[in-house]
Chain A
């Protein structure tokens, strides 16, 4: 758009407001897009969806290696531990691309959630490079170990643990359900809040005997239940400090799932628009009918406004602003709604074809369902935003 005063003389000034990505941020994102176009094809995803998950583990390993070469796996890991030492803004772009590509591996959980949690715990314990956490961080950054998180959920009433005592009455054993990436993760950061124990955060190393795969509606999702034993040597934080770390985790989880949902949303809209240009009825492409156009336009509008909301949340978390939790919740609410709408609309535009197992749409649609509900759904996050706004209004 034209502007009368064109702000001559203010461009290039360092302290000018600028709500946009830098060239370097866009380049990193572009590199991830290129690599995933090659390493995460629809054929790869279909192979996984057809039950070839373990047979396809080779591809998982390859994909993880190229992501590690780009630095994506250690994007938030401090440089002292071999990471890129970058921030949330960079990872948001990478995760949008992961959503676009339908990446099945737990990059969100490993690079976005577990790694910064480990780095925070390591920094708090003055661990240095020789500590257990430090060694894990280096392996996570290098892509040698996949990390994940579990045992925690976001509700409108606050954080709750999903970890419970084992029903098998094995003394001291607990069960943590619905852990993403359970079968590929070498290490998991797991929360619990058992009566008398308060909040605790444990570093749990992989034990193949302790993982039970949990089938999900999303056929490319690696979901499992962990059975494990909390010990003093697995404990990395407890009490208020654990709670504060988990609160940060919840903010990042809302932000990064929002980012991945943006990529999923854009892919679903693009697939449906492409189909609407090809499919003909009444002698014309169905995309020429307003009923179809308006469905897709509504989804496109939802995406358009979820984006800056997500980018602002990334900036607020990176800067540790006081409002960062509310900003992350706004992002997740907007992105979940956009993804739900896009999934619904894309299915409708595809018609009966979209309802078949054969249609690729399902791979993105089901991931969108899952991520929209994960880490607090849209109403949950709206309720968090409202509480925050009420508290701020009471202070005014």
Chain B
């Protein structure tokens, strides 16, 4: 056991830190990525990173990456959050679809889709949930039928809660190709351009009032055979590979929580009323959130070592998803408690110092509230933990 990084890894960290310090936009200079203006500003940032090969460090060099290992990726993420890097508008593509593509895509598909994804030229949204299929994902009804000439497919149906859906160029979604098959078997994973004839997007405003996700309607949308990821009827397997990334290592790097937990300590130092009636309870909540962020980091290192040793992550990924989402909430809940009645204020006091002000914490809290819901609700994850790690019978 050795938790010290090698000289080469430290050199990688130094290089990443220097680049990020020179290039990360100052706080507050980019509009929210869930607005049209902010979306384009965040896309430009992805392009800036791509040009110096920082947008997808873990990918092979031929697609714009640096071929680095899992610990280097974690180091990059630590530096990214340390530098206050913007939210990644390309997240759905880079962290969810790309790992699935590396596993299931043809060489031609990888060559076609990965470089523009890395450059931010093509931003992806996820088309999984439907109005009647959320946690019960295998209950989707959107369908794909062979087209008249037999060389492609026609998509019909409705997807919803598509993050980045309001502005994205592409959508990865699962559609039913065999209505007669058992529900998990008749599904196929499609890659669909959002400007295809027959695609209609209706943005949905989230809790913060911005259009972070959308409903997407498909009416007779023509797609070619080479827009299928994996093979026909294997959509569930391919989707579970994506879900493994959502719940496992790639979607939420521990750096996000370590950075927020560090700010929480600063906020506590600035705001805690040492003798107030709530002081003891808030101190305990702050300490618990801080320790949880640290535990999440350690668990990620543990898992990364398993992966580096050639083992797979397995259903422990569901523990992961429960823990990071609850840790995020614990950090932000404690922060809002420290802010007390000021917690409701949307705009930070311009005269104050950013960290100890409400605005960013409120944003973070709203974001954290979604965590236990997306990427498979925590209730579904608890079922997975109980059934696959503890062997309890299906209900």
Q: Does A18 contact B (CB under 8 A)?
A: yes
Check A393/B262 contact, CB under 8 A, given A15-B7, A293-B382, A305-B296.
yes
B392 to chain A: which residues have CB within 8 Å? 273, 276-277, 285, 287-288, 292-293, 296
Q: Does A65 contact B (CB under 8 A)?
A: no
- The stretch that binds A, out of B297-305, B339-347, B357-365, is B297-305
Compute how far the CA of A285 lies from the CA of B387 in the bound complex, rounded to whole angstroms. 13
Q: Does A304 contact B (CB under 8 A)?
A: yes
B11 to chain A: which residues have CB within 8 Å? none
A19 and B302 contact, CB distance less than 8 A: yes
Least CB distance, B151 to chain A, in whole angstroms: 31
Least CB distance, B61 to chain A, in whole angstroms: 9
A379 and B284 contact, CB distance less than 8 A: yes
The 8 Å CB contact of B58, one of A4, A276, A300, A382, is A4
Contact with A along B45-74 (1 / 0, CB 8 A): 000000000000011100001011111000
Least CB distance, A394 to chain B, in whole angstroms: 7
A296 to chain B: which residues have CB within 8 Å? 386, 390, 392
B284 and A308 contact, CB distance less than 8 A: no
B298's nearest neighbour on chain A, judged by CB, is: A308
Check A389/B290 contact, CB under 8 A, given A15-B7, A290-B383, A312-B298.
yes
Least CB distance, A324 to chain B, in whole angstroms: 12
Q: Does B244 contact A (CB under 8 A)?
A: yes
Contact with B along A274-298 (1 / 0, CB 8 A): 0011000000110111101110111
Compute how far the CA of A320 lies from the CA of B181 in the bound complex, rounded to whole angstroms. 60
Dominant secondary structure at the A interface: helix
Compute how far the CA of A229 lies from the CA of B9 in the bound complex, rounded to whole angstroms. 56
Q: Does A126 contact B (CB under 8 A)?
A: no
B63's nearest neighbour on chain A, judged by CB, is: A4
Compute how far the CA of A293 lies from the CA of B387 in the bound complex, rounded to whole angstroms. 8
B302 and A383 contact, CB distance less than 8 A: no
Compute how far the CA of A301 lies from the CA of B317 in the bound complex, rounded to whole angstroms. 10
Q: Does A356 contact B (CB under 8 A)?
A: no
Say which size band chain A's interface belongs to.
35 or more
B69 and A7 contact, CB distance less than 8 A: yes
Q: Give the tally of cross-chain contacts (CB within 8 A).
A: 206
B244 to chain A: which residues have CB within 8 Å? 1
Compute how far the CA of A394 lies from the CA of B99 in the bound complex, rounded to whole angstroms. 40
Contact with A along B233-275 (1 / 0, CB 8 A): 0000000010011001110000000000010011011000000
Least CB distance, B38 to chain A, in whole angstroms: 29
A5 and B59 contact, CB distance less than 8 A: yes
A15 and B58 contact, CB distance less than 8 A: no
B290 to chain A: which residues have CB within 8 Å? 385-386, 389
A389 and B265 contact, CB distance less than 8 A: yes
- The stretch that binds A, out of B138-146, B220-228, B307-315, is B307-315
Q: Does A269 contact B (CB under 8 A)?
A: yes
B302's nearest neighbour on chain A, judged by CB, is: A308
Compute how far the CA of A204 lies from the CA of B306 in the bound complex, rounded to whole angstroms. 46
Compute how far the CA of A383 lies from the CA of B287 in the bound complex, rounded to whole angstroms. 7
B288 and A11 contact, CB distance less than 8 A: no
- Contacts A5-B59, A19-B304, A379-B284 known; list 8 others, CB within 8 Å: A10-B308, A19-B3, A269-B390, A277-B392, A288-B395, A306-B295, A334-B295, A383-B283
Please report A residues at the B interface, Cβ cutoff 8 Å.
1-7, 10-11, 13, 15-22, 89, 269, 273, 276-277, 284-285, 287-290, 292-294, 296-298, 300-301, 304-309, 311-312, 315, 330, 333-334, 379, 382-383, 385-386, 389-390, 393-394
30 inter-chain pairs at a CB distance below 8 angstroms, sorted by A residue, are A1-B248, A2-B102, A4-B98, A4-B102, A5-B58, A15-B2, A15-B4, A15-B7, A17-B5, A18-B2, A18-B309, A19-B304, A20-B305, A284-B393, A288-B394, A288-B395, A292-B392, A297-B385, A300-B385, A300-B389, A305-B296, A308-B298, A308-B299, A312-B3, A315-B2, A330-B291, A383-B283, A383-B287, A385-B287, A385-B291
